[in-house]
Structure 1
């Protein structure tokens, strides 16, 4: 288990992993359909998507938390 001080990084990693996996699969299916090599296409897309998603979540999460706080308190 991880130290609680790494909660934000673990959250960002898991969020990016799951969201990029799901989104890249749906978009791959949408673009090429259910072809024989869809898993290979999807995994390549997932690696690329995750490499963008993880740093994005790390950078954007604090802003989203602040915006959420403003909306909830309004």
Structure 2
């Protein structure tokens, strides 16, 4: 049975920035599409972003390692890899 590792500081900092930027941009686009930019757009966007970030940060912490493994498996499958041999 594989033992789970605690995330390293670099992983947590990466997850913080990635989740902030992605949730900020995605919530802005989705808020604009759903409600337009009229009225208190900025308040709606920031409220949506806080919820999105609260979900995004823990997901990035736990999903980034899986995404890395899937990337490596895909590259191996198609004979391409950026890892030195």
TM-score (norm 1): 0.91
Which of 59, 62, 72 aligns to 1:59? It is 62
Runs of 4+ in 1 over 4 A off after TM superposition: none
Corresponding residue of 2:42:
39
Max radius of gyration: which structure? 2
SS in 1 for 2:75: helix
Q: How many residue pairs get matched?
A: 70
Task: Provide the alpha-carbon RMSD of the alignment.
Answer: 0.8
Higher helix share: 1
CA separation in 1, counterparts of 2:13 and 2:54?
15
Higher relative contact order (CA 8 A, sep 6+): 1
